[in-house]
Structure 1
Amino acid sequence: MKLNDEQREFQSLARLVSERQLAPLAPLADVEDGFDRDAWEVLREHDFVGLAIDEEHGGLGRGVVTGSLIIEELARNHASVALCFLVPYIFAAALADSDDLAARYLPKLASGEALGAFLLTEPGSGSDAASITTRAELNGDSYVVNGTKHFITNGDVADLGLLYARTGGPGGSGISAFVLEMDTPGVTIGRHEQKMGLRGCSLVEVRFENARVPVINLIGQEGTGLRVALTGLDFARVLVASLAVGLAQGALDMALEYAKGREQFGRPVTSNQGLQWLIVDQQMAIAASRELALEAARKVEEHEPDALQYASMAKAFCTDMCMQVTTNAVQIFGGYGYLRDYGVERMMRDAKILQIFEGTNQIQRIAVARSIMGRE
């Protein structure tokens, strides 16, 4: 995909920031297993956190293509903080038609003063988002919310949340969306999950016990919440695809640099044709994935008819590729790849969840199949 001058400038800046400021933070964040505040402050320092939010609300107003370029560069060295880059895009998409809520909350997200969380997943509903049971009952000028959300990224440090709760009957048409202030009485943080990867951000349970959310914080109309959630997920899937590309590229670059300096049987290991072909195959897979991810981003940004199909294809294809490339990067390091000293094992652990969250890759294939069959 051909980039314009501004996009190339953003890409170059993000790569520099990633290499110089984020790379040293990633190993420590992996050990500490919690939100990497220092890395987040780096994103704030360079105005990346407001990229998705329009200028009227204090952001830079750049589209998902530019966002994809930036998240790829961030993920080369620190996938956990790159994941935080998704949330402003999801909020911006959710509040696009809600002028009052946008005016009240987007400036805080654009400046990085507030962190956001996406409150959809529940213990009994993962891929089947339409089956959520958290309930929001209208009571005067508020909705009273009861229920439990889990696997909420950075829910313990978030200031704002996009909350999805049932206001009507069963199915997707009974779900509504709200902007939640996380310090609302009745909102508590439960279990902190111990994760295999992406340990530079937290993953928690969020509980609601008679928490009151003002009526004015309802996004759109009652019953439109699932549509709001799916719109945000379309943006998220494209960005996750580019995150996967960056993570894979970072792991392969690290493995190649290591291989260039290693000798076995009296000659450089890079002289082995088997290794050369392995590296070439991985680079070809990354290059193909990058083009698919950027094309999906362009289609989503320009609201093309097949944008959702491409978002699902990019998410599935790029994250499967990332798992393969990071696994092979560990193999290239040999026994050293299994040690924490070199970082590729962290990248391999980070890669696995990309195939699962924001809609499993099996669900993405179902979505693509339906899109293809529907045109026949």
Structure 2
Amino acid sequence: MTDTTRAEQPVTEAEFAALKDRVAAWVTGPGEEWAERIETTGEVPEELWAELRGHGFLRMAAPVEYGGFGLTFPQWMELMEVFSRSHGSTRMIVHVVNGIWRAMDPFADEEQRKKFVLPAISGDIKIAFTLTEPGNGTGADITSTVVREGDTYYLTGHKHLITFGVRCDYYLLAARVDGTTGHEGTVALLVPRHAEGVHAEDTSRTMGVTGTDHAEIRFDRTPVPVAHRLGREGEGLDVALGGFLTPSRISVGMSCVGLAQRAQELALDYAERRVSFGKALSRRQAVQFMLAENAADIEAAKHLVLHAARRFEEGGDDASMLSSMAKMTAVSMLTRVTDNALQVHGGLGYWKTSPIERVYRDARAQRFEEGTNEIQKTVVFRELTRLRTQPADAATAQGGAK
């Protein structure tokens, strides 16, 4: 989708405000009821997926011609901020489904668009992003391999930490043609979840983000049609890293902002009603300073995330660098804010009966999602040196929203 198409179908300020209010009403109403149910049962039922789909929440970020809402990327980030105040698993569903199409669409042919991209946007199929391997990083050192025999690839490899790896219909998977190294020969494949040779182990018992399923997956000469390959051989990491990770890191950054806002609200509410020695906590300077620092931290991170979102929308050559800057800054902010918020609650905040306890656990997961801060710093430095030696025209359209 081009910027011209988007400009022809803008969402008015009034329409966007109404949409944001609708999301907020769901998050504070049904969303909280779902959060309690998930924490009680430890599972995310298919009914929640169906409800999110019914409200159109799983296709909001897609282009109008794909059934989406025609939002700009910064507008979508403002909605992600609201969704992120809900349960971590709800946020994960909305985040992944609204983002996975971006990785596929630029590389898909028309048949693949009909079979995979549009059904993923509509919620008819679930696709799990499948890159990370045990013993390797998440880039050019992947070791899962394919051997081509006629019109079929045979996939052998091992992936882990795969979100929705149990309940998905397809894996959007990065591998390499056997015998190749580096970026050379990498392929992006849509692998059927129940294909021959797929062995998925449920590894969903996590500290936070309760109910989101994760899997460790082994592939033993799993047959994958060559027609399920996105792009050409050698473009596998372009699909995985370029089409998905840059906007996804910005989205995770905004998720940190939203969750931090929730922690701050809980801390402010508690500080106003908790009385000790005849005085509300909110009247004690130590507490006031913590909450003031929280507010400043949140605001600063939010503006950096939105700046990264605008540069991605514009196709800025610095979008990758800014996405990693935004993610690492927002994650560090969330760590400080949730720690302060829990401290304001005192010992009572440590009990599962307190909402801040869940927020605190969910926040810790953001330190790993889409790469640790150490990875983000590596990306930032790499991009700094690249931009320093090869100054880029800010108007160059590379990697913009599709």
> Shorter chain as normaliser: what TM range?
over 0.9
1:28 aligned partner: 37
Q: Secondary structure at the match of 1:375?
A: helix
2:173 aligned partner: 163
Describe how 1:63-74 pairs up with structure 2 within 5 A: 63-74=72-83
CA distance in 1 between counterparts of 2:139 and 2:45 reads 29
State the Cα distance separating 1:296 from its structure 2 match: 1.0
Indicate yes or no: 2:274 matched with 1:262.
Answer: yes
**Runs (5+) with no aligned partner, structure 2:** 1-11, 389-402
2:285 aligned partner: 273
Contact 1:32 1:199 in 2 (8 A): no
1:49 aligned partner: 58
Contact 1:143 1:215 in 2 (8 A): yes
Given candidates 154, 163, 166, the residue that maps to 1:153 is 163
1:39 aligned partner: 48
1:110 aligned partner: 121
CA distance in 1 between counterparts of 2:71 and 2:196 reads 35
State the Cα distance separating 1:31 from its structure 2 match: 4.2
CA distance in 2 between counterparts of 1:326 and 1:27 reads 20
**CA 1:318–1:36 in 2, change beyond 3 Å: closer, same or farther?**
farther
TM-score of the two chains, using structure 2 as the length reference: 0.88
State the Cα distance separating 1:36 from its structure 2 match: 4.4
**Two-structure CA RMSD over aligned residues (Å):** 1.8
1:67-114: per-residue Cα shift (whole Å, max 9, x none)?
Answer: 212221111121221112232313333222313211211222222122
1:338 aligned partner: 350
Indicate yes or no: 2:72 matched with 1:60.
Answer: no
1:201 aligned partner: 212
Contact 1:245 1:322 in 2 (8 A): yes
Q: Secondary structure at the match of 1:129?
A: coil
Q: Secondary structure at the match of 1:207?
A: strand
CA distance in 2 between counterparts of 1:214 and 1:62 reads 34
Contact 1:57 1:102 in 2 (8 A): no
Given candidates 132, 135, 141, the residue that maps to 1:131 is 141
Contact 2:120 2:126 in 1 (8 A): yes
State the Cα distance separating 1:34 from its structure 2 match: 3.6
Q: Secondary structure at the match of 2:289?
A: helix
Indicate yes or no: 2:22 matched with 1:13.
Answer: yes
1:233 aligned partner: 245
Letter in structure 2 aligned against 1:284 = A
State the Cα distance separating 1:121 from its structure 2 match: 0.5
Letter in structure 2 aligned against 1:355 = R
CA distance in 2 between counterparts of 1:10 and 1:160 reads 31
Letter in structure 1 aligned against 2:74 = V
Contact 2:100 2:127 in 1 (8 A): no
Letter in structure 1 aligned against 2:348 = Y
Letter in structure 2 aligned against 1:258 = Y
CA distance in 2 between counterparts of 1:299 and 1:6 reads 24
1:122 aligned partner: 133
Letter in structure 1 aligned against 2:105 = L
Indicate yes or no: 2:237 matched with 1:221.
Answer: no
CA distance in 1 between counterparts of 2:382 and 2:232 reads 28
Q: Secondary structure at the match of 2:249?
A: helix
Given candidates 342, 357, 369, the residue that maps to 1:357 is 369
Letter in structure 2 aligned against 1:368 = V
State the Cα distance separating 1:230 from its structure 2 match: 0.8
**CA 1:38–1:246 in 2, change beyond 3 Å: closer, same or farther?**
farther
CA distance in 2 between counterparts of 1:93 and 1:64 reads 15
2:151 aligned partner: 141
Contact 2:166 2:202 in 1 (8 A): no
**CA 1:118–1:182 in 2, change beyond 3 Å: closer, same or farther?**
same
CA distance in 1 between counterparts of 2:121 and 2:386 reads 39
CA distance in 2 between counterparts of 1:4 and 1:243 reads 22
CA distance in 2 between counterparts of 1:16 and 1:285 reads 26
Q: Secondary structure at the match of 1:50?
A: coil
2:102 aligned partner: 92
**CA 1:374–1:97 in 2, change beyond 3 Å: closer, same or farther?**
closer
Letter in structure 2 aligned against 1:181 = P
1:152-209: per-residue Cα shift (whole Å, max 9, x none)?
Answer: 1111111122111111512122311012222222222124242111113111112212
1:306 aligned partner: 318
Letter in structure 2 aligned against 1:338 = Y
1:295 aligned partner: 307
CA distance in 2 between counterparts of 1:53 and 1:96 reads 13
Indicate yes or no: 2:296 matched with 1:284.
Answer: yes
1:192 aligned partner: 203
CA distance in 2 between counterparts of 1:181 and 1:7 reads 37
Contact 1:36 1:81 in 2 (8 A): no
1:239-275: per-residue Cα shift (whole Å, max 9, x none)?
Answer: 1001111111111101111111110001111110111
State the Cα distance separating 1:60 from its structure 2 match: 3.0
CA distance in 1 between counterparts of 2:173 and 2:359 reads 31
CA distance in 1 between counterparts of 2:152 and 2:69 reads 33
Given candidates 359, 374, 377, the residue that maps to 1:347 is 359
State the Cα distance separating 1:286 from its structure 2 match: 0.7
2:394 aligned partner: none
> % of aligned pairs identical?
34
| Between 185-194 and 70-79, the greater mean CA deviation after superposition | 185-194
